[in-house]
Chain A
Amino acid sequence: MIRETLTRIRFMLSGKPPAELDEELRFHLEEATEEKIAAGMMPSEARRLALVEFGGVERAREQCYEERPGWWMGTVAQDVRYALRGFARNPVFTIAVIATLAVGIGATTAVFSVVDRILFRPLPYVHDDRLVSVGLVAPIIPQEFMLGGSYYEWRDNQKAFDAFTSETGASTCDLTEHNPARLSCATVEQNFLPTLGVAPILGRNFLAEEDRPNGPKVALISYGLWSSHYGLDPGILSRQIDVDGTMLRVVGVLPKDFEMPALEPADIVLPQALDEAAQRRADPGRVMYAFARLKPGLTVAQAEAALQPVFNISLNLAPAPFRKEVHLRVRSIRDRQMHDVKLAAWVLFGAVLAVLLIACANVSSLMIARAAQRERELAVRSALGASRMRLLRQTLTEALLLSLVGAAVGCLLAEILLRVFVGLAPSGITLLNHAQLDARIILFTVMVSLACGVVFGLLPALHSPRSIALVARSNGSARAVLLRRGLVVGQIAASMILLTGAALLTRSFRNIEEQGTGIEMNGVLSVRIPLPRYRYTTPQQRMEFFLQAEQAMRRLPGVLTVGTSDSLPPGGTHGEQIYNNIAIEGRPRASTGTGGMVVWRSVSPEYFSALQIPIVRGGEFTAEQRTSKDHFVILSSLLATRMFGGDDPVGKRVQPVPNGPWYFVVGVAANVKNAGLTEAEEPEYYRLRRDLIEDWNADAVLVVKTSLDPQAAAPWIRTQIAQIDSTVPVQVETLTQQVSKLADRPRFETALLGFFAGCGLLMAVIGLYGVIAFLAAQRTQEIGVRMALGATRIGILRLIAGEGFRLILVGGLLGLGASLVMAKWIQSLLFNVEARDPLSYVVAVLIFALWESLPR
């Protein structure tokens, strides 16, 4: 066997010189002739007979060549040359197929790369299918959480999980050694990493004694920090690092792909070092996030049922008014991470599948058309002796060639598109910045398009060419025509669906952009100065810094007003509390339920004039109140109406926090968009931030209204701040920029879906054009006869266009019906637009009609 293979390889490489075969055959014929002459024949007759007995000399020679191992490889090159010549003769077909494939593969691959991270990517944990997030759901925190008072009860008494662990979130921290940096530090329980199945790549996890109050100060650092700050030096394990003024010993380095299950940024992971005994007694205790590993074979629903007893214990501990609004939640980590982007991801995924289907339909119908055109050619080749295998191989070669070129261009396009997506995408879209082209994804899309091309390319070649094709003009099989019409109708329907989706999202996006926010953003700059905590340790220092900064801003030319706040509308983080905690003097506090959430901010008197928020009742805060011992508050009209009904709240006293100070209501401000751009406004109140230390526990953001070009004012602002302290970081942004960032998500979704709708429609038009051209070519004879019998050009055009019009009508109606059915799925992505918004559909149909009438 081995020798045989070796021989074959030798012959494959060297072959035999053709002269040898010639000599061999000549010898045979001469021997045969001589034998016949010897038997008494005439030489010429003998030679003729010898040739007859031998059979075809040329055929024998060819057969001998074909026996050579690897002979077929030569024919592949021949097939490729032949295919290339064919492509060059038919450039429209070639470009159409390659462009379709490239767009299909490119778009699909790029979007799938994005969506894959969100929907399908395995999480970087061992047994990620069994890891869940466990906790309570209450209006106060958007995602499930636990409280120190009951977490330990749950951990010790649950029966559904192999492991139960917690983390207490991440907060900013400052690395203050040679290369200072503002980082994010996450705090976790000792068994946190083992539960996730994450092992440090260097060093070890925390020990139990390190996760106790006053235990040894240790830290794990992320791979990123290890690489950027310590040059991947393994010696890091013996190092101490200075974080927020505390020396920590690095005991390990986390894997490169490590991420917190709730996706908080974590450069440094610290033991949370909670006092377990104190937490058990505490009510409510520390807010924690619990994660657990299901026992094998248990479902999430079973685990939830099994947790019910411990949940009931916690519920009994909770104050009675809260009980109705607290629920138990167990869900996979992926669901927790993706709670708000999942739908968008699925919609994108659906859109991309639609585009891929359109691309495949297009390639298929082009291939079928070409095959039908070439029926004659194949019949001729077959008659000249090409075997069925040879013809199949030829078709396959062509399909593969086209697919490969299309795939190559498609991959290039995918890379470009992905960069564009990532560039366009708002930072808020989870994990998008990590998206990259994945070999699996490329392979998948290439395989799909390849399959389309090959299957539909081969279909017609499979039944042997009919001999009639040689004599009569081929009419193409009726089946192929039906198939092509079906494909075109499908394509048109799919692009109609994409188009209505894009129209709905566009309208929704315009609604978001054009709604009033209640604040005036023109000429307003926000100046954020995150003070390093290790330098500004006391409220006194912070207050002095910000008061100086406020004065400095006022001195700048062109500055009209300078206000301060601790947060800014319409989105982002801000103070929030439960409505029913607010007491009104002379009235009992409400005792049922939470009453929902109320937003609050801590502002200076100029805040309202800087943002031009009208005061509708009472007055603004005054400069004198800034130094008063009393507390003052302004309510939003929503809150005022809710608390006081039609009564005038000005002069009344309210107590926002039980046992806290009482505040005088000095006025009522107009409502402001304060829960993001797409959510309804929440009630809100403004505390006056006085020039007293007790009001300066948090940093401030300065709101600067200027009459100059905001971009020009920014450098002056930086200079002013640098004069106070040149080491603090300063972020200057226009309010318009900030608000526009909030609309990034819908803008991104709209742009993507619009892009797909365009792609789909373009391809559908190519497909339609192809099928019409094909049908027209099929009917050349018929048209000729009709014209000879007196049909006008217009009549013929109407005949052909009518065919296309029917296809468009059927496809468009099908697509419209399907969109109406599917629209309800995207309802929650829409803002102030009904999923069956008639205007969007009319617009979609108009665009569709316009597009479809273009090519003619």
Chain B
Amino acid sequence: MPESTDLLQGTLDLLILQTLAAGPMHGWGVAQRIQQVSRDVLQIGQGSLYPALHRLEYKGWIASDWGISENNRRAKYYRLTATGKKQLEAELETWERLSAAIAMVLGRSVEVHG
């Protein structure tokens, strides 16, 4: 958890949006996926995931519906809205510009992870 509190708020939002871009997902799934994709480097404090999800929903970037999970339980599924898609693109662009700039300052070439 200590690492997670250091995560910039905008970064967490970006990660959530990116994760949901793959398809609707419930909160537990989002946490799992971020952890898997980031190869356990970024450990999201699961507790701070939900305020972020709610914030994004209040902003209208994601929406939620009740659905049935893989093991037949009622779960809340979040999906990206049209606004959210646009926002994701914009944020990705900003992020890339920012990381490129940081990399340049640090004197390294951009390392692109798949």
Residues of A whose CB lies within 8 Å of any CB of B are 3-4, 6-8, 11, 16, 20-21, 23-25, 27-28, 30-32, 34, 53-57, 59-60, 63-64, 66-69
Q: Which residues of A contact B83 (CB under 8 A)?
A: 3-4
Q: Which residues of B contact A6 (CB under 8 A)?
A: 60
Q: Which residues of A contact B51 (CB under 8 A)?
A: 60, 63-64, 66-67
Q: Check B58 against A24 for contact (C-beta < 8 Å).
A: no
In the bound complex, CA of A31 to CA of B74 (Å): 12
Q: Check A4 against B27 for contact (C-beta < 8 Å).
A: no
Q: Which residues of B contact A27 (CB under 8 A)?
A: 26-28, 69, 73-76
Q: Which residues of A contact B50 (CB under 8 A)?
A: 21, 24-25, 28, 60, 63-64
Chain B proximity of A34: nearest CB distance (Å): 8
Q: Check B47 against A57 for contact (C-beta < 8 Å).
A: yes
Partner of A11, one of B27, B31, B58: B58
Q: Which residues of B contact A59 (CB under 8 A)?
A: 47
Q: Which residues of B contact A8 (CB under 8 A)?
A: 58-60
Q: Which 10 A-B pairs have the closest CB atoms?
A: A55-B47, A7-B60, A63-B51, A60-B47, A31-B28, A67-B54, A67-B55, A54-B46, A28-B28, A4-B60
Chain B proximity of A57: nearest CB distance (Å): 7
- Extra contacts besides A27-B26, A67-B55 (9): CB < 8 Å: A3-B60, A4-B59, A4-B60, A34-B71, A55-B1, A60-B47, A64-B51, A67-B58, A68-B54
Q: What is the interface of chain A mostly: helix, strand, loop, or mixed?
A: helix
Q: Check A7 against B48 for contact (C-beta < 8 Å).
A: no
In the bound complex, CA of A762 to CA of B83 (Å): 63
Chain B proximity of A59: nearest CB distance (Å): 6
A-B contact pairs, 20 of them (CB 8 A): A7-B59, A25-B50, A27-B28, A27-B73, A27-B74, A28-B27, A28-B46, A31-B28, A34-B71, A54-B46, A55-B48, A56-B47, A60-B47, A60-B48, A63-B47, A66-B51, A67-B55, A67-B58, A68-B54, A68-B58
Q: Among A6, A24, A32, which residue has the most Cβ atoms of chain B within 10 A?
A: A24
Chain B proximity of A71: nearest CB distance (Å): 10
Question: Beta-carbon contacts of B23-39 to A below 8 Å, as 1s and 0s?
Answer: 00011100100000000
Q: Which residues of A contact B28 (CB under 8 A)?
A: 27-28, 31-32
Q: Among B54, B69, B73, which residue has the most Cβ atoms of chain A within 10 A?
A: B54
In the bound complex, CA of A59 to CA of B31 (Å): 18
Asked if B45 is an interface residue, CB under 8 A from chain A, the answer is: yes
Chain A proximity of B69: nearest CB distance (Å): 8
Partner of B47, one of A4, A11, A54: A54
In the bound complex, CA of A212 to CA of B27 (Å): 95
In the bound complex, CA of A60 to CA of B28 (Å): 14
Residues of B whose CB lies within 8 Å of any CB of A are 1, 26-28, 31, 45-48, 50-51, 54-55, 58-60, 69, 71, 73-76, 83
Q: Which residues of A contact B73 (CB under 8 A)?
A: 27, 30
Partner of A24, one of B27, B45, B59, B71: B27
Assuming the A-B contacts A7-B58, A32-B28, are A55 and B45 also in contact, with contact meaning beta carbons closer than 8 angstroms in the complex? Answer: yes
Q: Which residues of A contact B60 (CB under 8 A)?
A: 3-4, 6-8
In the bound complex, CA of A31 to CA of B47 (Å): 14
In the bound complex, CA of A6 to CA of B31 (Å): 29
Q: Which residue from chain A places its CB closest to the CB of B43 in the assembled complex?
A: A53
In the bound complex, CA of A116 to CA of B68 (Å): 74
Chain B proximity of A12: nearest CB distance (Å): 9
Q: Which residue from chain A places its CB closest to the CB of B87 in the assembled complex?
A: A4
Chain A proximity of B1: nearest CB distance (Å): 6
In the bound complex, CA of A55 to CA of B51 (Å): 13
In the bound complex, CA of A57 to CA of B51 (Å): 11
Q: Which residues of A contact B31 (CB under 8 A)?
A: 28
Q: Which residues of B contact A66 (CB under 8 A)?
A: 51
Assuming the A-B contacts A7-B60, A8-B58, A8-B59, are A24 and B76 also in contact, with contact meaning beta carbons closer than 8 angstroms in the complex? Answer: yes
Chain B proximity of A3: nearest CB distance (Å): 6
In the bound complex, CA of A7 to CA of B55 (Å): 12
Chain B proximity of A543: nearest CB distance (Å): 95
Chain B proximity of A815: nearest CB distance (Å): 57
Chain B proximity of A129: nearest CB distance (Å): 54
Q: Check B48 against A53 for contact (C-beta < 8 Å).
A: no
In the bound complex, CA of A56 to CA of B5 (Å): 13
Q: Which residue from chain A places its CB closest to the CB of B4 in the assembled complex?
A: A55
Chain B proximity of A15: nearest CB distance (Å): 10
In the bound complex, CA of A21 to CA of B51 (Å): 10
Chain A proximity of B31: nearest CB distance (Å): 8
Q: Which residues of B contact A32 (CB under 8 A)?
A: 28, 46
Q: Which residues of A contact B1 (CB under 8 A)?
A: 53, 55
In the bound complex, CA of A57 to CA of B83 (Å): 30
Q: Check A63 against B26 for contact (C-beta < 8 Å).
A: no
In the bound complex, CA of A446 to CA of B55 (Å): 39
In the bound complex, CA of A11 to CA of B55 (Å): 11
In the bound complex, CA of A760 to CA of B31 (Å): 67
In the bound complex, CA of A31 to CA of B71 (Å): 9
In the bound complex, CA of A28 to CA of B28 (Å): 5
Q: Among B28, B45, B58, B83, which residue has the most Cβ atoms of chain A within 10 A?
A: B58
Q: Which residues of B contact A11 (CB under 8 A)?
A: 58
In the bound complex, CA of A25 to CA of B74 (Å): 12
In the bound complex, CA of A448 to CA of B60 (Å): 43
Assuming the A-B contacts A20-B76, A24-B27, A63-B51, are A69 and B46 also in contact, with contact meaning beta carbons closer than 8 angstroms in the complex? Answer: no
Q: Which residues of A contact B46 (CB under 8 A)?
A: 28, 32, 53-55
Chain B proximity of A60: nearest CB distance (Å): 4
Assuming the A-B contacts A27-B75, A57-B47, A60-B51, are A69 and B27 also in contact, with contact meaning beta carbons closer than 8 angstroms in the complex? Answer: no
In the bound complex, CA of A8 to CA of B58 (Å): 6
In the bound complex, CA of A8 to CA of B31 (Å): 25
Chain B proximity of A381: nearest CB distance (Å): 23
Chain B proximity of A19: nearest CB distance (Å): 12
Q: Which residue from chain B places its CB closest to the CB of A58 in the assembled complex?
A: B47
In the bound complex, CA of A100 to CA of B55 (Å): 45
Q: Which residues of B contact A68 (CB under 8 A)?
A: 54, 58
Q: Which residue from chain B places its CB closest to the CB of A4 in the assembled complex?
A: B60
In the bound complex, CA of A370 to CA of B93 (Å): 53
In the bound complex, CA of A24 to CA of B74 (Å): 9
In the bound complex, CA of A64 to CA of B58 (Å): 11
Chain B proximity of A738: nearest CB distance (Å): 77
In the bound complex, CA of A16 to CA of B1 (Å): 28
